[in-house]
Amino acid sequence: MGALVEIQEVALAEPLAPELRRGYVDEPHAGAVLDAHAVDVLGWALGARARAVAVEFAIGDEPFWRAPLRAERTDLVEVFADAPEARRSGFATTLNLIGAPAEFELRVSTVLKGRRRAPLATIRGRRRWRRDRSPAFAELVSVVIACRGQAPRLDETIESALAQIYPHVEVVVVEDGPTEDASQIAARYPGVRCMGTRRDGEPAPAPGRGPSAGVAQARNAGIRATNGDFLVFLDAGDRLLERAVETGVRTLDEHPACAAAVGACRSGTRGGGRPGGPVQPAVARDQYARLMRDDWAGSSACAIYRRSLLEHVRGFEPSLDAMADFAFNLAIARQFPIAGHDMPVAECRENGREVGGDPGTMLVQTLGAMRRQQRYVRRDRELRRAHRDGVGRRKRYWGEALAGQARESLRDGRRRDALGQIVLLARKWPRGVWRLLRAGRSRSG
């Protein structure tokens, strides 16, 4: 189920540098589709003024691999009879290209005695994703439902997963801490499994016994307990539309370079009222920058993910539990394209998750997710601008919500709560304290 790379072009340096007499890359060939863990590169090189001793491989500025020139090449002995080093001028090495950019240019350079370097060839390629079609995993989609105190609406979520037009779906419910009869509800549906989670994100066989580990760890446990090539994550209370999985799998088939497909999400109501229309359009370009600015991918209920991407991206981050979806999608969009489409695939309801309802927690964790992007954007002016805009928007949005919460605490006489909220506001969005003071003065006036 791992990642693949497709070799698009193998080109020798033209013209060869004066330091090189001749050289060639025998493998890989253009058009080859290879396992990204093990890309075999074979060839040879002969120096003109100094002996060639090795080849180096680089993507970007810094070489990441070096292979010696010592493989036997008897085919070159007669051609270069005046060069005794021709017999041992070959190289044969295996590269691990996991983590390479979606579209990459692998530069091959010859290292000459005296540490001089000369370009030999360029290998251009792009990432692809493998579909495992073995009988055990063929076309299987795993739907992981995280449930924390939302058992009364769990049946709707399970039924929406089981009602998919797409036939190959497994459903796993992960209870995050004590819940109300979630295991009994899941037991009504043949084939639906229910389990708990430990604080380390490992599945726990007895659900609903231990303390809450958080929705991020519940999803991580669900990943470890499932087998599908594709993953869908729901919170209890979310509902998949009946063609959601079919649309997602088809979209990924049509976009083999994409790690995930994201559709539109309809907003629902706590009481099960009529859902609204799609809340976000598909984004095709500058996806990482746009995600930092406005979180266009939305809830994970709108997405279907290739399991293979977990070779590159860690699961959901426990320390950012309230922003688990956002942080996960950022890690993906930074490295891979995402296939966005406008088809509604889910109804995402207000699920009452405790951390998700607290603006202080949301402010801290959304800024934490953005802080983790700093080292990836510092060398790109447009990404830095998108990051700065995104941080500003989130400070303003959650800061205003936190200021409103502080006003309510003061009005209700909960001074200790208000003090903590004001201190947090001063640390994360000082402008909010000024707005809070101005609002207080206007009321007193």
**pLDDT tens-digit readout, 327-355:** 999 999 998 899 989 899 999 865 434 34
Residues 6+ apart with CB under 8 A from 100: 5, 36, 59, 106, 125, 127
| DSSP result, 297-320 | T--GGGEEEEGGGGGTS----GGG
129: left (phi over 0), alpha (psi -120 to 50) or beta: beta
- For 120, half-sphere exposure in the C-beta direction (CA atoms, 13 angstrom radius) is 29
| DSSP result, 415-441 | HHHHHHHHHHHHHH-HHHHHHHHHHHH
Above pLDDT 90, what percent of the chain?
A: 55
Q: In the prediction, which pLDDT does 123 show?
A: 97
- Choice between 440 and 318, residue whose per-residue pLDDT is larger: 318
Residue 136 has pLDDT above 70, yes or no: no
Residues 223, 197: Cα–Cα separation, whole Å:
11
Residues 383, 385: Cα–Cα separation, whole Å:
5
Least confident among 35-49, 182-196, 351-365: 351-365
Bridge partners, residue 135, by sequence: none
CATH number belonging to domain 141-352: 3.90.550.10
CATH topology of domain 3-127: Immunoglobulin-like (2.60.40)
- 297 neighbors 342 (Cβ within 8 angstroms): no
- Global model pTM greater than 0.75: no
List, by residue range, all CATH 3.90.550.10 domains of the chain: 141-352
List, by residue range, all CATH 2.60.40 domains of the chain: 3-127
Residues 26, 45: Cα–Cα separation, whole Å:
11
